[in-house]
Amino acid sequence: MSAAAILLRGRIIGAPDGEIADGVVEIEGERITRVRDARDYPDAGPVPAPTDSIILPGLIDLHCHGGAGAGFPNADAAGARIAAAHHRAHGSTGLLGSLVSAPPADLLRQASVLADLVEDGDLLGVHLEGPFLNSVRCGAQDPASIIPGDPRLLERICDAARDTVRSMTLAPETPRFGELLTVLRERGILSSLGHTDADAATTSARIADAAGGRLTATHLFNAMPPLHHRAPGPVAACLAAAGRGDMVVELIADGVHLAAETVRMVFDTVGADQIALVSDAMAAAGISDGAYRLGPLDVTVSRGVARLTTGDGSEGAIAGGTASLLDVVRYTVFEAGVDLGEAVVSATRTPARMLGLEGERGALAPGCRADVVVTGADLRPRRVLVAGADVAGWVR
């Protein structure tokens, strides 16, 4: 062990062989070098005193629209960096910058803006949430910006993003779905089904079309028909696919988008390896209530809940989240009653696998990049490290 090594001691979640009640994570440079029970460390020299800390792999958010006052669909590069830094300081050591349906010129511009952040290491990639969705289930997306599937436009956006697009949400029923899927496969982009009014049969057929590739469901239950015993819709098709291991389903477990019992039901039904917890955070994440933008639409945040602004003051559609991914993990554990280790898998190992980052991120294992979150028993951050370096702004 070098003199410059960092030693972290506490309850370790995400080690190769499971939880370690009192363990030590050793970091040298940008990598984790050892993860061991504290009792096995005398041969390695002095170790830190016992703590009540919990040590987690850095969280990975597959679906995030912004934070700290800046939204990826609207911000310039400086604003986008502020949003990324906010989530990084709260434990999301890797995240995709999510765009929403917008006019093609806006998508091309923002794809290029976010590509700079990907190339600089501030984001893991770009997530396109639209524009090839179903306007009947647009949620907080601009229905005027939703268009039929257009493979040529998709190619242009990917080119503008300089091949940093890593994920795309599209409706199973959008025209030219097969051609879009071909483009996504050729470019190594994760396909995600969502914002859909499709029935179960159509959804299942599209899942079969994507067989053999990586596939997710964008915020399961939200922006799709509810599950009904005679009209099971896309929810049933996606749950069945996740149960078979053919799909990973996103859950926004923030206490707004889903009931705690729903979150627990999905974990009990398909298991943590087939679930990706996401924040779906927008610009208001981490700051005060008020007026914001989500792409071309106005959003009002009241009591921490973001909704589309309406002209008559009525309640608009939920417009993204205001929580961090660590907040989502905390809700999943303390409100939904999911085991901590399972919740952490769904916020680390599963999304890492979906992005092809196994062995690099998503686990506390020798050789992995030293992306680490240290929390208290309340799962609130005490320290965040990215590639072995402390993140500015982490909470003491």
32 neighbors 55 (Cβ within 8 angstroms): no
| Contacts (Cβ under 8 Å, ≥6 apart) of 298 | 291, 292, 308, 309
Q: Is residue 54 marked as binding?
A: no
Q: Is residue 219 marked as binding?
A: yes
| Contacts (Cβ under 8 Å, ≥6 apart) of 130 | 99, 100, 101, 102, 141, 145, 146, 169, 170, 195
Is the sign of the CA dihedral 262, 264, 269, 273 positive or negative? Answer: positive
| Both structure tokens of 138 | 């647009």
| Both structure tokens of 139 | 């949620």
- Rounded to whole angstroms, the Cα distance separating 63 from 282 reads 10
Q: Is residue 222 marked as binding?
A: yes
Q: Is residue 58 marked as binding?
A: no
Which of the residues 122, 150, 254, 280 is marked catalytic? Answer: 280
- Rounded to whole angstroms, the Cα distance separating 252 from 351 reads 14
Q: Is residue 320 marked as binding?
A: yes
Q: Is residue 140 marked as binding?
A: yes
Q: What is the residue type of 370?
A: A
| Contacts (Cβ under 8 Å, ≥6 apart) of 174 | 132, 133, 134, 148, 149, 180
Q: Quote the distance between the C-alpha of residue 233 and its chain's center.
A: 24
Q: Is residue 90 marked as binding?
A: no
280 catalytic? Reply is yes
Task: Extract the annotated binding site.
Answer: 129, 140, 195, 219, 222-223, 230, 257, 318-320
> Hey, which residues are catalytic here?
280
Task: Extract the annotated binding site for substrate.
Answer: 140, 222-223, 230, 257, 318-320
Task: Extract the annotated binding site for Zn(2+).
Answer: 129, 195, 219
